[in-house]
Amino acid sequence: GSGSSSGSSSSSGASNAGRPLARFALFAFVMVVVRFLLLWTGIPGRWQTGKAPLSPLFDPRHFASDFGWGMMQSTGDLLVTSLCLVVLAMVFVRVTELLRRKALDHVSILWQRTDRNSEPNAVPMSMRLSAALFMQGVVTIGLVLILSEAARRSVLDSTLDYFERSGLLPGPLVITIFTALLLWTFAVIFFSSRSVWISIELVGLNRFTTIFRLPMGISAVAAASVLLSVFFVLFGLHEQIEAPLVAIFILTSWMVAVYSPLGSDRVSDWLHLRSIVPSIVLVSVLLYPVFENGMTAERQLMMRAAAESFQEDVDARIEFAIGQVLNRADEIEIASDPRLAVTVDAVYFDSVARLVTQGELIDALGSHDITITIFDSTGHPLGRSVETGRPRSRADSDTADLDAFDLIFSMYVAAGDRGRLIERMTGDQGSDQFTFVGFRPIVNNDVRTGWLMVRAIPEANLRASARAFPRVLTPAGFYGNRMVDISVVEYQNGVLSKRIGPTFGQTILDFEIDSALNQTPVIWRTSTIRGQEHIELYVRPDLIDGKSLRADPFLGSKVRTIAVRRPEAGIFDHLYYMLRITLVGLMLGLPVYLIGIWWRISRGLLPARRVRFRDKVLNAFFVAGTLTIAATGVVGMQLLTNENNRAVEAPLRQHLERVEATLLSDAGNEELPYQVLERSNLDSLSARVGLDLNVYKLAELERSSRPQLVRERLISARIPIEAYEALFFDGFRDVTVNQSLGSYEFTAGYRALLDESGDPRYVLSLPTLPEQQQIEEDRARTMAYLFGALLVLVFVVMVTAVLLANTLARPIAVLRAGLEAVSEGRFERIGPADSRDEIADLVNTFNTMQSQLEDSQTLLANQERDLAWQEMARQVAHEIRNPLTPMKLAVQYLRREFFKIRQDDSSENSGDETSPASSTTGRMFGNDQFAERFKRTTETLVEQIDALANIADEFSSFGRLPEQTRSDTDLNEIVLAAVSLMRNESRAVIETNLTIGPLMVHVDVEAIRRILINLLKNAFQAIDNEHVGDIRVETETKLSEDGSCVAIARVIDNGHGIPRPLWTKIFVPSFSTKTSGTGLGLAIARKTIEDHGGEIGFDTEQGTGTTFWIRLMCASPADDPVKGQ
């Protein structure tokens, strides 16, 4: 029977769950169809093209992914998809609301233990709980897997730098993607939390909260965890998403399901600041590790790409730099020089070749030896510029250039003999080293008069003379933030041969890594260098069929190993990135909060008629915390900016002073620096100091060591007005000015070179364009620390707000519950407060007030009850006494008359027995049997009338107790008198155990004696005939809490005891467990003792006996009690 009922309940639960889910499935199908129709028609992207305000959102150059069958084909489409998911999630919440309510009706929230015998044939509770946990876990795993893949593709299929440390808020497109993924995460939480109730409904679970109380719940969680782990590993999900992240999502979904206000009847709870802010922070914390997984995948992909590019000697910077030099050939008009047609001094063409590289990116490529050669039309070298660590004679250089010219010229002709040619060629150092070569003709009036060749040969070590090149002059992607911190090196036979990027720090390949690479071609590992975590990739490109080629010095073979290293993000970096996501979430929550305010106003909920104290504390903390954090952020940013400016200004001043000192070192007698500058070559001066320099004469730019900046209009031809005013009007020798090139910001230093009269003749300008990258990195690192600390402060404020609000509100809520209980007539003590402040004092005062009110109410109730019983007793006594007197008189009169007539008749008619009258009377009055019966009947009537009179007297006594005559009396004497009387009447043995010496009390002796006699009678009557009576009377003294003396008398029996249901009725008037009696004895006793200012009560144990005790105040102080027989 029970098994079938369980099965029917489970099937009905499944059907009940199926109906709303079917409706939701239909709605979801319609939503998906509509979404794909929008994608097929290109709406709304087709309306946002060209210069439309939202056109960047639908530009595939920024973001384009094929994940989701085109639902993420652009930033705007990702946002639209996320909005659709949120709508689906809210509809799902609404549709499953009935299931949630039903589950809450059946699920115990009181942490109760399940009755295991209630369903002996049903599915065990632990199995149902495990099934519910497993089903909900599988749903959550699927949802998190989709979210993780969407976040990963958002990173990999995008050209955006999501975590560029350029400011507190990212760019608009990154904000849009963060917003979309936050909405997606909200949808996952909604779906996952509601799947909890569906799982409960499907498995017929009715007490899932026992999971936290009973071993059954613990075993169910363990079983579900094992099943989920097997599922996770069986389908290979551990390779796509981390198990701890899934566990956090599952735990969060259960917490949201049980404790969050997701019910439709509590929508207003979600629209408060105290709900919006924690929800956004929670979702941001959940989203960040998911997004970070995508960033990790991108970093690994970039490291692999860097290794492959380095292995193949592919470097886009080199090709771009060579192209720059080839373009400069026309700009300096080499072809128009008539001396190209004849042989002239090679020094001139050497200077022309050096002029070609002036200020270009190729001059900053310290990882390559650079050779630029100018040839005449026949291929004879005229001059060259060489930046190499291996000097050669001119004859050797001419020979090498002629060989290279023949090869590259043939390649140029084979390529079509037009324009320019940039190719990779095998270098002189081996087949694994490539030389980049650029080649183009020099044309004058459409006549080919010469050739220009540029060669870049890789070197193992950076050239010390290489100068930094401004990032602003390079195409996008060459110096991106995501590649700038990558270091790539190559080991040949375990020895460092060449590198790109920051110093790798290891010139010899680690032996363990070398051994491991002989088994597998790719190794990932982490390392710690000077406290900084790094991730490293080692690749052995020569590993063939699992075997590595060994170095053979006779055959010239080499074992190559490519190593790539990049620093891992630190804890403050993660906090900074998480803060950016959180701020985007808060921007998303702001319109929700404003909509909530409008919604509450429209429904008359604002201003609120009642606000909970806890909510007020939370709101106050959130507002104060937000203002504090905002102020801290603003002040921190200002301090960071000022500190950054000071950090930049000091080196700039030192560099400018060094330039002036260099000019002074070249000065002759009484020659000023500006005069040395006039006769100096600016390129030579720039090379000597290793800095880029600009020279202004008055306000106009005269010369620049980086002329491309001027040609590209990246530097103004006029001095900035701030610098001009400071140097020419305010009299400063040097000044720093913040400038910008579009969104690219940099700092430039200006120093005046004074003439003989002390006025500025020239102004030296030193821009920080080459160093700006390092400056930005330092500033971004400091910013990460600042805002990472701010995020920690956000968490601290939120946790503190919740804890403090609960701490303050909990005792107030307890007091409120206590006051409500008082209003309902229940006087219950509330628990002690955990604090030791005024709130604890308030709780103690309230408990004292509760006790006093309870005592007062009890006393008042007793008094009202006693008064009612007394009034009733007086009326009953009066009504009974009125007819009893005539009844007794009538019976007594009837008896006298009967016996008088009988006596008279007996004497008068003793001799006349023939008279009929006398005969009849004689038969009636002379009958002894009748007389005896008449006598017994009338005696019984008189006795019952006397009994009724006694009852009336007792009622009268209870209704109007006699005035007490109190005196100081020994309680022991009263006890002995009562015991003596009871011994005479019942001939019972009563033991006494009284104090030695008198026990003085101020009482009415007769009243106390009657009470003791009543208690002794009750003790005798409590012992049945089958047991031997054991009755004892004891007295003693004790000290009360206030130190006063209390006299105690006890009457102890070994009767059957008092049943628990009768305990509250013992002192109630008219209640008695005996068939005879009025039930007023104990009521009168209690009233008498209370009038004496004492207490009366009892202790009982069923089957053992009962002890009635009386407590009275001593008439005089007494010592501690001493027992005696």
> Residue 967's beta-bridge partner residues?
1003
Q: Report the C-alpha gap between 307 and 301 in whole angstroms.
A: 10
Sign, CA dihedral 370-375-380-381, equals: negative
Helix (H, G, I), strand (E, B) or coil at 1022: coil
Spatial CA neighbour of 355 closest among 376, 377, 381, 383: 383
Q: Report the C-alpha gap between 662 and 254 in whole angstroms.
A: 72
pLDDT of residue 927: 67
The answer to whether residues 741 and 472 touch, using CB atoms and an 8 Å cutoff, is yes
To the nearest 10°, report the CA torsion of 980, 984, 987, 991: 0
Query: Per the structure block, which two tokens stand in for 8?
Result: 């029917």
Query: Per the structure block, which two tokens stand in for 778?
Result: 């330092």
User: 735: part of which helix (H) or strand (E)?
Assistant: strand 734-741
The answer to whether residues 148 and 238 touch, using CB atoms and an 8 Å cutoff, is no
DSSP string, 187-209: HHHHHHHHHHHHHHHHHT---GG
Q: Report the C-alpha gap between 596 and 301 in whole angstroms.
A: 44
pLDDT of residue 783: 73
pLDDT of residue 844: 78
pLDDT of residue 153: 92
Question: How many Cα neighbours within 13 Å face the side chain of 131?
Answer: 16
Helix (H, G, I), strand (E, B) or coil at 241: coil
**Residue 1001 to residues 13, 262, 382, 634: CA-CA distances in angstroms?**
74, 69, 137, 81
**Which letter, b or e, does each residue of 898-931 get, where b requires 16 or more Cβ atoms within 10 Å of its Cβ?**
beeebeebeeebeeeeeeeebeebbeebbeeeee
What's the pLDDT tens digit per position in 718-767? 899 999 999 999 989 999 888 776 556 778 899 999 988 889 999 999 88
Q: Report the C-alpha gap between 354 and 618 in whole angstroms.
A: 70
Helix (H, G, I), strand (E, B) or coil at 1038: strand
What structural domains does the chain harbor?
2-296 (no CATH), 312-475 (3.30.450), 485-568 (3.30.450), 612-826 (3.30.450.20), 839-958 (no CATH), 965-1113 (3.30.565.10)
Beta strands in 356-494 (DSSP E): 368-376, 381-387, 421-427, 430-444, 447-458, 487-492
Query: Per the structure block, which two tokens stand in for 237?
Result: 């999900």
Q: Report the C-alpha gap between 600 and 611 in whole angstroms.
A: 14
Q: Which amino acid does the sequence have at 557?
A: S
Predicted structure pTM score: 0.66
Helix 172-203 to helix 243-259 angle, to the nearest 10 degrees?
Answer: 70
The answer to whether residues 568 and 292 touch, using CB atoms and an 8 Å cutoff, is no
The answer to whether residues 196 and 140 touch, using CB atoms and an 8 Å cutoff, is no
Q: Report the C-alpha gap between 482 and 780 in whole angstroms.
A: 13
pLDDT of residue 544: 46
Greatest distance between any 2 Cα atoms in the chain: 203
pLDDT of residue 1084: 79
Pairing of strands 560-567, 744-754: unpaired
Residues in the chain, pLDDT under 50: 1-14, 107-122, 206-213, 264, 335, 340-343, 431, 464-465, 476-481, 544-556, 913-918, 1118-1125
Spatial CA neighbour of 689 closest among 740, 653, 655: 655
Query: What's phi and psi for 1063, nearest 5 deg?
Result: -60, -40
pLDDT of residue 95: 83
> Residue 562's beta-bridge partner residues?
490, 539
pLDDT of residue 1123: 40
Q: Report the C-alpha gap between 642 and 645 in whole angstroms.
A: 5
Q: Which amino acid does the sequence have at 762?
A: Y
Query: Per the structure block, which two tokens stand in for 451?
Result: 């050739």
DSSP string, 611-672: --HHHHHHHHHHHHHHHHHHHHHHHHHHHHHHHHHHHHHHHHHHHHHHHHHHHHHT--TT--
pLDDT of residue 487: 86
Residues 6+ apart with CB under 8 A from 995: 972, 1035, 1036, 1037, 1121, 1122, 1123, 1124
The residue with tokens 């990173």 is: 155
The answer to whether residues 812 and 820 touch, using CB atoms and an 8 Å cutoff, is no
The answer to whether residues 336 and 443 touch, using CB atoms and an 8 Å cutoff, is no
pLDDT of residue 936: 79
Q: Report the C-alpha gap between 84 and 190 in whole angstroms.
A: 13
Sign, CA dihedral 102-105-106-107, equals: positive
Q: Report the C-alpha gap between 706 and 209 in whole angstroms.
A: 74
pLDDT of residue 147: 94
